[in-house]
């Protein structure tokens, strides 16, 4: 069985979320990757089990990308298309599903096994096993959920691919990349240090930054903190912000409202530091420290630095 | 400007999730349903703001049975001008999108606004699907919408940060935080909603592309292991040796 993997790149390399999707495709059958634009060598795709890469032109909008991926699936006779469930994946996968007449199973969280696929529903409060009604399927994989595939050590061949892409309809006026200070972007981060109103003011975030540096983590925050402007909006994790699933989520001075948990309950290990022993977040935590953040966090930073 | 805002019925965020019929159906008994928050707070409110400033109308549409009427009335109370319910029992995103697109096809909306995802199925799939059916662009994860003449100017979240984009002609967007602020319906709005048109239209008969085989609840957490506040080094040891995450 052939699987098409829709790959996004940054600086010519497949993104982490896309490598996970490619590995997922390779575990289902013969994986053929589709990329738009520049690729550095094979973009790291051979190592995760991709044999061939079809390279389309650069700077396509969502509708053109859907045409590129669908045409590749039809040319290759692929029964399945896999993409990461990231920003662009959300804009393109649904379009590909409509073009191919394929059912879409979005945000799969587990490696393929048996008939059907597992995904989260009810904002992480339950899972569902979903089965396709159609011969073809489009599957998107939740970043950081299925894990990076073992390196197979291969190299993928790269061939140019073109099809009728139609006209570009979305004009990009400007793009801005907020500085993450060299840290991994939140959706891909494996380690996250997050803080809330318990920090009392934006001037106190130094201890959070220090801890994040010691852990090698990305910083995040709760909704009230981004709403009142203590921290930038792109750091807000939770139901209305970004949903993340790092290996380790350290929550400091966050009470753990249900809307916050909905964005972080996929984390593998949750550590809660809060001075209120009754904070609801402790019920969802694996480890906890009841104590004042201003006292505990610097000590914890030292302990990490001592590693 | 005429906007179509697609809304979905969703269980209130604090709902205790349970299943029935052999874990194949969500147990709706005793559940408080709301307008899916992203559809209401962001998509609907921004459409209303634009119409208030420039004229036009906001039509809301939902795919479902009569159990969707209360949320359509709620959206009318917030300020939408007309409501349409496409009479179907939706099984998945593909079916919902095909029904919404079939309805929109026969109308002349300037834009179709959706929330970024529903809080029950979380697929983020419907907006892109509607866009493909109509062969128009989809601006996903949109945080602002304004007009410069006939051109729509939007800001969207991307993997690398944010982008400001322009689209001429009809488009679909999925709304994220930043588009608008929640509005609480007032008594006048609630009274007016009773007499606003709620049209029920037959479904086109679109099929679902997937089905739910079984729901499951995640395993219970073992319970929090507390570490003394004076000994954070012990926490580091546990994360390293027991949890093995660092």
Q: What is the pLDDT of residues A148-190, one digit of tens each?
A: 888 778 999 999 999 999 999 999 999 998 777 788 889 889 9
Within chain B, how many helices (H) and strands (E) appear? 7, 15
> Which of B37, B158, B215 lies nearest to residue A128, judging by beta carbons?
B215
Q: What is the pLDDT of residue A252?
A: 98
pLDDT of residue B81: 98
Strands A137-141 and A103-108: parallel
Q: What is the mean pLDDT of residues A24-45?
A: 96
Residue A10 pLDDT: 93
Q: What pLDDT is recorded for position A183?
A: 87
Partners of A120 on chain B (C-beta within 8 Å) are 122
Mutate which: A93, A122, A215, A226, vs B, most B CBs within 10 A: A122
Residues written for chain B: 246
For tokens 């009142």, name the residue: A228
CB contact under 8 Å between B224 and A125, yes or no, is: no
DSSP B41: I
Q: Look-up: residue for tokens 């967007």? A: B173
Judged against a pLDDT cut of 80, whether residue A1 lies above it is answered with: yes
Burial B184-217 (b: 16+ CB within 10 A, else e): ebeeebeeebeebebeeeebeebebbbebeebee
DSSP state of B39: I
pLDDT reading at A270 higher than 90: yes
Does the pTM surpass 0.90? The reply is yes
Per residue in A52-107, pLDDT (tens digit) is 999 999 999 999 999 999 999 999 999 999 999 999 999 999 999 999 999 999 99
Q: What does the pLDDT read at residue B133?
A: 98
Residue B208 contacts A, CB cutoff 8 Å? yes
Chain-centre distance of CA B168, in angstroms? 24
Neighbouring residues of A37: CB distance < 8 A, sequence distance ≥ 6: A9, A55, A56, A57, A58, A59
Task: Say if the ipTM goes beyond 0.90.
Answer: yes
State yes or no: pLDDT of A226 exceeds 80: yes
Inter-chain Cβ pairs, chain A and chain B, closer than 8 A? 278
* Whether A148 contacts chain B with CB within 8 A: no
Residues B10, B74 contacting (CB under 8 angstroms)? no
Taking each helix axis as running N to C, give the angle between helix A62-76 and helix A87-100, from 0 to 180 degrees, rounded to the nearest 10: 50
CB contact under 8 Å between B207 and A133, yes or no, is yes
Q: Which of B47, B60, B42 is nearest to B1 (CA)?
A: B47
**Chain B CB within 8 Å of residue A248 CB:** yes
Cα A100 to Cα A96: distance, rounded to the nearest angstrom: 6
Q: For residue B75, what pLDDT is reported?
A: 98
Contacts of B124 in chain A (CB under 8 A): 85, 90, 94, 106-107
Q: Give the mean pLDDT per block of 10 residues along chain B (246 residues).
A: 97 94 96 96 97 97 98 98 98 98 96 97 97 98 96 94 96 94 93 97 98 94 94 96 95
- Please give the pLDDT value at position B174: 98
| Separation CA B93–CA B77 (nearest Å) | 27
Using a CB-CB distance cutoff of 8 angstroms, which residues of chain B are in contact with residue A307? 236, 240, 246
């Amino acid at each position: 069985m052939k699987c098409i993997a829709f790959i996004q790149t940054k600086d010519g390399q497949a993104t982490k979320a896309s490598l996970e999707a490619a590995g997922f495709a390779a575990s289902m059958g013969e994986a053929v990757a589709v990329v738009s634009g520049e690729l550095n060598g094979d973009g790291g795709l051979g190592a995760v089990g991709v044999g061939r890469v079809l390279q389309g032109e650069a700077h396509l909008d969502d509708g053109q990308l859907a045409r590129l991926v669908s045409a590749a699936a039809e040319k290759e006779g692929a029964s399945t298309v896999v993409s990461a469930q990231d920003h662009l994946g959300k804009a393109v996968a649904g379009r590909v599903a409509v073009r191919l007449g394929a059912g879409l199973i979005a945000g799969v969280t587990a490696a393929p096994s048996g008939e059907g696929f597992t995904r989260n529903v009810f904002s992480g409060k339950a899972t569902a096993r979903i089965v396709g009604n159609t011969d073809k399927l489009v599957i998107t994989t939740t970043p950081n959920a299925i894990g990076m595939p073992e390196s197979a050590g291969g190299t993928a061949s790269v061939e140019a691919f073109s099809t009728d892409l139609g006209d570009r309809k979305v004009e990009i006026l400007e793009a801005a990349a907020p500085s993450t200070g060299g840290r991994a972007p939140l959706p891909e981060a494996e380690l996250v240090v997050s803080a809330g109103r318990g920090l009392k003011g934006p001037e106190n975030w130094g201890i959070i930054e220090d801890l994040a540096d010691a852990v090698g983590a990305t910083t995040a925050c709760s909704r009230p903190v981004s709403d009142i402007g203590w921290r930038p909006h792109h750091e807000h994790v939770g139901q209305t912000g970004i949903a993340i699933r790092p290996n380790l989520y350290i929550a400091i001075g966050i009470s753990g409202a249900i809307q916050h948990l909905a964005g972080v309950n996929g984390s593998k290990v949750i550590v809660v530091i809060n001075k209120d022993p009754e904070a609801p977040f402790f019920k969802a935590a694996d480890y906890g420290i009841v104590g004042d953040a201003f006292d505990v966090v610097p000590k914890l930073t030292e302990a990490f630095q001592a590693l | 400007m005429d906007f179509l805002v697609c809304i979905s019925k969703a269980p209130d965020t604090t709902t205790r999730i349970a299943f029935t019929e052999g874990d194949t159906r969500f147990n709706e008994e005793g559940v408080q349903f709301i307008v899916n928050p992203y559809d209401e707070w962001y998509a609907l409110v921004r459409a209303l703001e634009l119409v208030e400033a420039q004229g036009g109308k906001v039509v809301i549409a939902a795919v479902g049975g009569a159990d969707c009427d209360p949320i359509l009335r709620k959206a009318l109370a917030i300020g939408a001008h007309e409501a349409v319910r496409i009479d179907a029992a939706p099984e998945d995103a593909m079916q919902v999108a095909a029904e919404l697109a079939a309805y929109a096809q026969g109308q002349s909306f300037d834009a179709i606004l959706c929330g970024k995802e529903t809080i029950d199925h979380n697929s983020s799939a419907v907006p892109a699907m509607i866009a493909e059916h109509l062969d128009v662009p989809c601006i996903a994860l949109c945080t602002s919408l304004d007009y410069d003449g006939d051109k729509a100017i939007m800001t969207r979240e991307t993997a690398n940060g944010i982008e400001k984009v322009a689209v001429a002609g009809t488009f679909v967007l999925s709304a994220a935080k930043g588009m608008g602020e929640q509005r609480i319906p007032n008594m006048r709005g609630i009274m007016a909603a009773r007499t606003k048109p709620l049209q029920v239209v037959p479904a086109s008969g679109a099929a679902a592309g997937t089905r739910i085989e079984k729901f499951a609840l995640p395993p219970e957490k073992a319970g929090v292991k507390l570490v003394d506040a004076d000994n954070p080094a012990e926490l580091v040891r546990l994360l390293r040796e027991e949890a093995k995450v660092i």
